[in-house]
């Protein structure tokens, strides 16, 4: 079968984006369910579809689990009244939610989610665009997401969104630095002399056949994780939203579908962030440290590919759970604490970490 | 006098945040497996404690006689003026003709009622009771004015040990015991 590769890419892109969107909507459900479990509640358990919900035991079980809840949640966003307040800057007000969502969905193209080993032993990454500067691209684009928040805060032309937007931008600048510096040891290790230089996320994941990077670079992992929380505006760093202080921060003036876009954008960011953390620190699709799929005998062919995607998605869902778990455990930092943590602790720590690992890796590469 | 409580300085591990965060995470993780403390309301109802002040109702005594003698004390005591009683005579031929009066109409406007229970407290006949019903809704204002019929339907019969009017009747027939 000969299909135009361009069309094929479109199909792949459509599949990946719909999977991400599906993940997002179910992430919302997971968030609601996990929060309710942690708080001793039941959570969404009423919504049911006529046919599937009617199946004797399974239907009831699924309904209790809230499986059908994302559908009305989404429909609600579509059909509610979309208010554009009179005092806003209309152009930017409407553009902001789009700008918040687009970077999150764009970064997905460089995120590999599995690998396929042909019979010839060639390893093909399962990724939309196998760019060599993957990690740089990812950092560059995902940082743009904050423009959505800042624009929303600014164009809303009212004080709480404005404060939220300002906080978001300040927080972004503070944590982006530490985040970037914290992954450098990994890049130094992956690009050791004698190896092919790469910033490709796929190669970074493949480099974790033995140790996962989280195991021998725990400080990097922790700094990156903390910064990831800050970048995705998740509690305990949801300065931009902080609903107890700023009503609901940057999206105070938003309603209906525009708010829905922000909402999906936040979760898409989380999904991508979880993917990246999995790729960088949790060994990608390697089932266990020192155990690759090849070693287990599932290396080649479709089965190996499906398993690798499954393991990757499993780890990613674990990370998503961790995101939510943290959210319902920790209270929000005060704004000055956020700044202090970012500038006075994480940044020096990440630089020290970089220096130590640089010397260590230099020693490993030259003396051993 | 104000008491100053010295806050203990954080030790090194606490300053690191991470062990404390791990502790918090373990707490919440344990909570996930615990049974929910909430009730799924329309299906599961809370147990109403004794002496609960729900919707005020009129009750009959075990013989099926309405206890209210339309003295209008509740109407007078009612702080939001939710009660409206139209007093009426008891017809001559009735079994209860010896009872002085009975309400011809008895209305409690549930939009006004504040569930204070003063009517119950003041009633000399123990005829009005705030019972267990706690949720009340309707589509119109008229619907939420409970009339006599509705009040008796809600109230039902409560055990009564006094049988005041029965004893009065017996006393009148067989001579006073006093």
pLDDT > 60? residue A1: no
pLDDT of A132 above 60: yes
With CB atoms and an 8 Å threshold, state whether B32 touches A36.
no
Q: Count of CB atoms within 10 A of residue B150's CB?
A: 17
CA distance B55 to chain A (A): 29
Instruction: Tell me what the mean pLDDT of segment A212-219 comes to.
Output: 81
- Per-residue model confidence (pLDDT) at position B122: 92
Distance CA A288, CA A305 (A): 16
**In chain B, what residues touch A40 (CB-CB under 8 Å)?**
31, 34-38
Express each pLDDT in B109-127 by its tens digit. 999 999 998 998 998 888 8
Q: The complex's ipTM?
A: 0.76
Residue range B127-163, pLDDT digits in tens: 888 888 888 888 998 888 888 888 888 888 887 777 7
CA-nearest of A100, A131, A143 to A199 is: A131
Percent of chain B with pLDDT over 90: 8
Instruction: Give the separation between CA A321 and CA A37, rounded to whole angstroms.
Output: 13
Peptide bond into A310 cis (omega under 30): no
CA separation for the pair A247, A241 (Å, rounded): 8
Q: Is A37 in contact with B31 (Cβ distance < 8 A)?
A: yes
If one compares A98 and B100, the residue with the highest pLDDT of the two is A98
Rounded CA separation B156/B163 (Å): 17
Q: Alpha-carbon distance A109 to A138, whole Å?
A: 9
Distance CA B85, CA B100 (A): 15
Instruction: Reply yes or no on whether the pLDDT at B43 is more than 70.
Output: yes
Structure tokens at A361: 């890796």
Per-residue pLDDT band at A19 (split at 50, 70, 90): confident
Q: A324, A268, A241, A264: which is closest to A74 by C-alpha? A: A264
Neighbours of A124 (CB within 10 A): 13
How much is the pLDDT for A2?
Answer: 64
Burial class from Cβ neighbours inside 10 Å (0-12, 13-18, 19+) for residue A90 reads exposed
Q: Which residues pair with A192 in a beta bridge?
A: none
Candidates A318, A339, A315, A294; CA nearest to A116 is: A294
- Find, among B175, B9, B29, the residue nearest to A37 by Cα: B29
At B165, list the tokens. 């009017």
User: Are the C-beta atoms of A236 and A330 separated by less than 8 Å?
Assistant: yes
Which range among A174-183, A196-205, A326-335, B128-137 shows the weakest confidence by mean pLDDT? A196-205
Taking the Cβ of residue B44 and every Cβ of chain A, the question of whether any pair is shorter than 8 Å is answered with no
d(CA A204, CA A282): 11
Q: Are B77 and B120 in contact (CB under 8 A)?
A: no
* Average pLDDT score over residue span A304-331: 86
pLDDT, residue A234, reads 81
What pLDDT score was predicted for residue A26? 87
Rounded Cα distance, A203 and A200, in Å: 5
Cα pseudo-dihedral A128, A133, A136, A142, rounded to 10: -10
Residue A329: list chain B partners with CB under 8 A: 21, 24-25, 27-28
Please answer whether residues B79 and B118 qualify as being in contact, where contact means their C-beta atoms are separated by less than 8 angstroms: yes
Contacts of B31 in chain A (CB under 8 A): 37-40
Distances in Å between the alpha carbon of A338 and those of A149, A164, A226? Answer: 18, 14, 11
Residue whose entry in the numeric block shows the structure tokens 């059909």: A79
Least CA distance to A44: which residue of chain B?
B40
- Could you read off the pLDDT of A114-127 as tens digits, one per residue? 777 777 767 777 77
* Predicted TM-score (pTM) of this structure: 0.80
Q: Name residues 195-234 of chain A within 8 A of B (Cβ).
A: 222
Give dist(CA A290, CA A295) in Å, integer.
9
Give the C-alpha distances (Å, rounded to integers) separating B111 from A67, B57, B99. Answer: 40, 15, 32
CA dist A200 and A197 (Å) reads 9
Q: How far apart are the first and last CA of chain B?
A: 63
| Mean predicted lDDT score pLDDT of chain A | 82
**How confident is the model at residue B80, as a pLDDT?**
92
**Phi, psi (rounded to 5 degrees) for B61:** -85, 170
Task: Determine how many CB atoms are found less than 10 A away from the CB of residue A8.
Answer: 10
Per-residue pLDDT for A368 more than 70? Answer: no
> Would the CB atoms of A325 and B27 count as touching at under 8 Å?
no
Contact by Cβ (8 Å): A43, A66: yes
Chain B residue numbers with beta carbons less than 8 Å from the beta carbon of A36 are 36
Confidence of residue A299 (pLDDT cuts 50, 70, 90): low
**pLDDT above 70: residue A106:** yes
**Interval B66-92: pLDDT, tens:** 888 888 899 999 999 999 888 888 877
CB contact under 8 A, A325 and B25: yes
Which CA distances in Å does B15 have to A341, B22, B28? 12, 13, 21
């Amino acid at each position: 079968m000969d299909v135009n590769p361009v069309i094929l890419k479109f199909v792949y892109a459509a599949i990946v984006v719909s999977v991400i969107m599906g993940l997002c909507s179910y992430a919302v459900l997971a968030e609601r369910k996990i929060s309710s479990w942690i708080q001793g509640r039941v959570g969404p358990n009423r919504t049911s579809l006529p046919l599937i919900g009617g199946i004797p035991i399974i239907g009831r079980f699924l309904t209790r689990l809230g499986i059908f809840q994302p559908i009305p949640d989404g429909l609600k966003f579509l059909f509610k009244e979309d208010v554009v307040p009179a005092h806003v800057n209309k152009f930017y007000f409407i553009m902001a939610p789009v700008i918040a969502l687009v970077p999150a969905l764009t970064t997905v193209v460089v995120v590999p989610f599995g690998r396929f080993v042909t019979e010839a032993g060639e390893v093909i990454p399962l990724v939309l665009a196998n760019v060599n500067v993957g990690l740089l691209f990812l950092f560059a684009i995902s940082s743009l997401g904050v423009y959505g928040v800042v624009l929303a805060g600014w164009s809303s032309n009212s004080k709480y969104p404005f404060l939220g937007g300002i906080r978001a931008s300040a927080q972004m600048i503070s944590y982006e630095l530490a985040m970037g510096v914290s992954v450098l040891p990994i890049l130094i290790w992956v690009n050791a002399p004698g190896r092919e230089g790469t910033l490709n996320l796929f190669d970074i994941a493949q480099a974790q056949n033995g140790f996962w990077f989280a195991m021998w670079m725990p400080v990097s992992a922790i700094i990156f994780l903390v910064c990831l929380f800050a970048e995705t505006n998740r509690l305990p760093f949801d300065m931009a939203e902080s609903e107890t202080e700023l009503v609901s921060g940057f999206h105070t003036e938003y309603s209906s579908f525009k708010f829905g876009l922000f909402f999906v954008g936040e979760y898409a960011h989380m999904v991508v962030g979880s993917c990246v953390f999995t790729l960088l620190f949790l060994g990608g699709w390697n089932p266990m440290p020192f155990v690759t799929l090849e070693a287990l005998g599932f290396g080649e062919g479709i089965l190996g590919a499906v398993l690798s995607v499954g393991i990757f998605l499993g780890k990613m869902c674990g990370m998503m759970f961790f995101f939510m778990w943290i959210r319902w455990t920790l209270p929000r930092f005060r704004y000055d604490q956020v700044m202090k943590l970012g500038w006075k602790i994480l940044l020096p720590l990440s630089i020290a970490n970089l220096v130590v690992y640089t010397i260590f890796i230099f020693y490993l590469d030259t003396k051993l | 006098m104000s008491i100053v409580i010295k806050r203990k300085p954080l030790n090194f591990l606490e300053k690191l945040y991470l062990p404390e965060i791990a502790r918090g995470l373990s707490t919440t993780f344990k909570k996930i497996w615990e049974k929910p403390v909430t009730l799924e309301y329309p299906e599961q109802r809370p147990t109403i404690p004794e002496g609960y002040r729900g919707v005020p109702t009129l009750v009959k005594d075990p013989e099926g006689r309405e206890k209210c003698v339309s003295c209008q004390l509740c109407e007078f005591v009612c702080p939001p003026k939710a009660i409206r009683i139209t007093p009426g005579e008891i017809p001559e031929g009735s079994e209860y003709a010896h009872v002085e009066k009975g309400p011809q109409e008895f209305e409690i406007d549930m939009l006004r009622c504040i569930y204070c229970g003063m009517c119950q407290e003041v009633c000399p006949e123990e005829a009005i009771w705030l019972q267990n019903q706690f949720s009340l809704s309707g589509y119109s204002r008229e619907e939420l004015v409970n009339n006599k019929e509705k009040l008796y339907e809600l109230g039902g019969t409560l055990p009564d040990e006094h049988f005041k009017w029965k004893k009065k009747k017996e006393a009148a027939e067989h001579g006073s015991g006093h």
